[in-house]
Amino acid sequence: MTHVVDLSSRLPKGTRLNGVYEIESLIAAGGMGEVYKGFEIETGEPVALKFIRPEMARDDAFLALFRREAAALARLHHEVIVKYFLFSQEPDLRRLYLAMEFVEGEHLGDLTQRGALPVEKVHTLQKRLALGLQAAHDRGIVHRDVSPDNVIVLDGAVEKARIIDFGIARSDLLVGETVIGGGFAGKYSYVSPEQLGMFGGEVTARSDIYSLGLVLAQCLLGKPLDMGRKEVEVIERRRSVPDLSRIDSRFVPLLERMLQPDPADRPNSMTKVAQWPLGGDERTLVSFPSAPVQAPARAVAPPPRAPDEKRAGAARMKLFGAVALAGASAAAAALWVLRPADHSAPSPAGRPSPQIQSAAPPVPDRPEPEPFRKVQQIIQSFDGGSCFLAVPHEAGARDIEIDGFGRQAPFEALDAEIQRVTKINPRIEVREAPQEFCPALDLARKFASFGGPPLTLSVKARKLSSGDQLAGDIETTAPSVLLFILDEEGVVHDVTAQLRDAAQAKSFAMKLALKSNRHLLRMLLVAIASAEAVGGLEASNGPAARVFASLGARLAALTKPPAIAVEFVSLENNDGK
């Protein structure tokens, strides 16, 4: 039955709580209790005060869980989530309450009543709300009541949206009395199947993912999806993905995943939701999968090559850490341009065929030999201009190979400088990169000199036919990993959502297909690993200059430097042209 709020339990204006807060007015009343606007007596700062229904407070199990989660929320600090200050009992009233930050703005539900939001605004909301919820999930807190009414938009700007009213302990209290016929405080339109007891009835972080999917759909439509009103309809319409035919096609792949009835089929974290790219625009030449496919088994990395072994087989890219530089400690970068594997030579017996790799290994335990270190120093200080990357490789005591990409002229000058200073005649191979790759290459060069976490980017094959699967691994100890594909039209595709978790690694496998009659498309894979999440990206798809400028600003703000690895891949139409 529907819960009836006891009006006699409401508290009058001027009521003081523990000598700290004073009630000003009632904001709302619902299944969990009442919420008042108040202020801190000493400072006058406004607060929201949520009182728990007395009958709930008498449940010892509920009270213990409520205290635990309230304490966790008080330690949670994220710009998207309202701050939780205090959970206490007013001794004279004998009422339990929660003091929170007071946020004044418009409910997202009211905003959508005026019509659908622009797709780009919804994409911003997608990333912002998902990152906030992920912060809560990281502390074991599930919101359980994600809905437009629990999102406040400040100053009409979705970029300032805040999440309020976590449903603390709600599901545990109402087991056996969930939505149908009970006092569930959530909304029928946004509850997940498991909140109705389906799929085992266990409410986890993936329940919030489902609810957020319904919220995003409402933002795109200007009204909620029809998820049923009668009890039978509410359950039945959660047995399959709802009708998304009226949703902007760029959002359909994401919502199809978020609104899977079985929690196991949804994205495995809000991080994946936040990083999911908005569908390509008209300039997109490559179609990307709407959902990750099973990644292949990770290949075993090849053993170190002998000094005199020619660079056949898999090509490799390394990012070196700090080395001694002119009497001070500095970082030297070494990026190896990737070359095709030599498939004509058989692999030695017992050795698995290596993947094509780019790696950022830890700092070597011993110093590099003097000639190689001198070459590193020269490259470190050499000004090759924009779109210039030079990567030395030690092939022998005084045998230095340099892989470079960019324009030919700077490498001729680099060659002359190395010979002048070291008397070494390096072997330099230059791969000319299209101008559209320059923003990514400049970003990689900028951060390569700082030394980041270990990072290895591997792909199964660099040359693909349209419709083939691009598969590989990103091995790193860093907790935050991003993956982008930059095509030679200068369009960036954020494919981070295609990553699957593995032990100290991320795997990816996605089918790529040319959308046009173009015969060949060159692409650059860019992997970024960092010790902390790279938040606040307003657009992770689109023109390379804009995307990598935004990335550069966000990476520069991190407390620890990131590592960046790149990989060349080409996609060719298999029509024999």
Q: What is the pLDDT of residue 466?
A: 86
- Across 254-263, 318-327, 416-425, least confident range: 318-327
Residue 81 pLDDT > 80, yes or no? Answer: yes
H/E stretch holding 521: strand 520-530
Of the candidates 103, 76, 92, 69, which has an alpha carbon nearest to the alpha carbon of residue 17? 92
The 10s digit of each residue's pLDDT in 339-384 is 233 333 333 333 333 455 544 433 444 444 578 888 878 887 888 8
* 495 vs 484: CA distance, rounded Å: 5
Of the candidates 144, 143, 138, 241, which has an alpha carbon nearest to the alpha carbon of residue 184? 144
* Pair type for strands 21-29 and 16-17: antiparallel
Largest CA distance in the chain: 92
Strand order in the sheet with 46-52: 16-17, 21-29, 33-40, 46-52, 95-101, 84-90
**Angle CA 331–334–338, to nearest 5:** 155
* 25 vs 15: CA distance, rounded Å: 10
Q: Sketch out the chain's domains with CATH numbers.
A: 7-101 (3.30.200.20), 109-276 (1.10.510.10), 322-342+353-572 (2.60.40.1930)
Residue 297: which pLDDT band, with cuts at 50, 70 and 90?
very low
Residue 440 pLDDT > 50, yes or no? Answer: yes
> Which residues fall within 8 angstroms of residue 366, CB to CB, at 6 or more apart?
none
Residue 183 pLDDT > 50, yes or no? Answer: no
**DSSP codes, 417-438:** HHHHHH----EEEEEPPPGGGH
Q: What is the pLDDT of residue 285?
A: 47
Q: Which of 401-415, 433-447, 536-550 has the highest mean pLDDT?
A: 433-447
Residue 127 pLDDT > 70, yes or no? Answer: yes
Bridge-partner residues for 501, per DSSP?
A: 506
The 10s digit of each residue's pLDDT in 8-62 is 468 999 999 999 999 999 988 766 678 999 999 999 999 999 888 887 778 787 7
Residue 572: which pLDDT band, with cuts at 50, 70 and 90?
confident
Q: Which of 315-324, 449-458, 564-573 has the highest mean pLDDT?
A: 564-573
Tokens for 536, please give them. 């606040």
Residue 571: which pLDDT band, with cuts at 50, 70 and 90?
confident
Q: What is the pLDDT of residue 577?
A: 43
* 471 vs 335: CA distance, rounded Å: 21
Residue 1 pLDDT > 90, yes or no? Answer: no
Q: What is the pLDDT of residue 471?
A: 93
* 101 vs 84: CA distance, rounded Å: 6
Q: What is the pLDDT of residue 192?
A: 94
The 10s digit of each residue's pLDDT in 201-239 is 899 999 999 999 999 999 999 999 999 888 788 899 999
pTM of the predicted protein model = 0.49
Helices and strands: H and E segment counts in the chain? 13, 27
Q: What is the pLDDT of residue 397?
A: 58
